[in-house]
Amino acid sequence: MQLIWFRQDLRIHDHAALWHTTQQGPCIALAVLSPEQWQLHQAARIKTAFYLRRLKYLKQQLQQLNIPLIILNIPLWENLASEILNLCQTLKIENLHANIEVGVNELERDAQVQQLLEQQQIRIELYHDRTLFPLGSIRNQSNQAYQVYSAFNKKCYERLILDVPTCYPEIETQDPIQLSTKLPNVDLEKFSADYVVEHAAQFWPAEDQAALDLLDDFIEDKMAHYKTDRDLPAVDGTSRLSPYLNIGVISVRQCMQALFQDGYFQIEDVGQQTWLDELLWREFYLQTLFDFPRVSKHQPFKQNTNKIQWRNAPEDLAAWQQGQTGIPIVDAGMRQMLATGWMHNRVRMITAMFLCKNLLIDWRLGEAWFMQHLIDGDLAANNGGWQWCASTGMDAVPYFRIFNPVSQSLKFDPNGDYIREWVPELAHLDAKSIHEPYAKNPDLQLDYPKPIVDLKQSRIRAIEVFKNL
């Protein structure tokens, strides 16, 4: 008997480990819920709720294939190996199959499971699935990992010209398997009740169709204008696929197949290229996480930036977290995230850079806050993005390039529509003054805070701090 272990890959289509498992004989599926571990990883409640909704749906899909799903509640990963061994011995499992996960805790967890199972002659097979290219396979001429995105991107293009990754075949229905009713199995409905988030299911449905519709809609309607529209927070111009990619409702190969429908690597327009480059940023950060494990241990990639004396400013941090900084575009983004579990990518960069540079607050506090609230909180992308903004990371923005949030707001939300949606107390202001309401009239009476920091002065302060490293 084969066991397939689902983690951040909750789908039956184009699933490397599932396909390989079914080729080796009848199989049983496993999912593990680890609430205390999720807490340690700062998983957002909305993300956990989404994961559990998806797991219910996956269970139904597996039932149609006659693959029973066992769900275990093992609060911490340190106790996982022995529990999985017990299960394997009870079910007489020959091989355990799973897709590789790249975080340092995940790799350690899998190594422990592997060690214990193999002592009992149970093999564990791990497959590359989350990335387009096997981990550690994109290398420069010296056989080293790339540290600059543009060179990494070029190498990926060379690989894609030779071969656009294709999807795995559909899974065949197997003969029914009767499992003992005595086996441990979590009541998913009961467990999920602690994680319900109001309206989340309406915003983020968990079915396959929801992800596929988003993908089709993006390719057909949005991609042509993606290069410009993706930067406009008031416009629905992005794919919004990140939550679905994150828990594996859809695979990156499915995205590639949609991008190159005839299967050949052919760039036909700038929108297509821009989205491909975004998918390759995702790839870059996942490969980085694997090649440089320190970034998943709260360490900066650029080790000299460890010397930075970040400000201990709990009041400024709280104002930023709650969207009360007095900088409208920053507050709009932070409130959007608190209300919906998602934030527009341009605004993620603006809010992150404001925290690290203008407030000079440690990027790790921002990284944690995002993880605690984002439905698409992904260790690799979130860490990569934060370290890019903080000028501490791989191929980061040069330290002297500091976004001015007001200029960004005027450029990308010229009419102030995005601000009006999320900061309604400013909705009555005209398109010019909404970006900086107190600039011309400091005595203006508004139900809105004055800026907590002077943008010019704080910019100079940040440049000085970085210059002296």
Which helix H or strand E contains 69, and what residues bound it?
strand 69-73
Which helix H or strand E contains 28, and what residues bound it?
strand 27-33
Burial of 268 (0-12, 13-18, 19+ CB in 10 A): exposed
Determine the Cα–Cα distance for residues 180 and 184; give it in Å rounded to an integer.
9
Specify the amino acid at residue 59. K
Catalytic residue among 83, 278, 404, 421: 278
- Polymer length of the chain: 469
Tokens 């209300």 appear where?
A: 339
Looking from the CA of 452 toward its CB, the CA atoms found within 13 Å total 24
Residue 281 annotated to the active site: yes
Catalytic residue among 105, 185, 345, 404: 345
Q: What 3-state class would DSSP assign to 454?
A: coil
**Sequential DSSP letters for 374-401:** -TT--HHHHHHHHHHHTT-STTPPPTT-
Catalytic residue among 83, 105, 185, 310: 310
Catalytic residue among 5, 320, 363, 388: 363
Residue 345 annotated to the active site: yes
Q: Which DSSP letter does residue 437 get?
A: T
Residue 310 annotated to the active site: yes
Closest CA to 197 of 378, 47, 61: 47
- Core vs surface per residue 156-185: b (16+ CB within 10 A) or e: beeebeeebbeebeebeeeeeeeeeeeeee
Determine the Cα–Cα distance for residues 17 and 5; give it in Å rounded to an integer.
8
Task: Spell out the residues 6+ positions from residue 452 whose beta carbon is closer than 8 angstroms to its own.
Answer: 316, 319, 325, 326, 359
Residue 172 annotated to the active site: no
Catalytic residue among 94, 105, 281, 421: 281
What CA–CA distances, in Å, run from 410 to 14, 139, 329, 415?
Answer: 43, 40, 9, 8
Catalytic residue among 19, 77, 275, 386: 386
Residue 275 annotated to the active site: no
- Which residues are designated catalytic? 278, 281, 310, 345, 363, 386
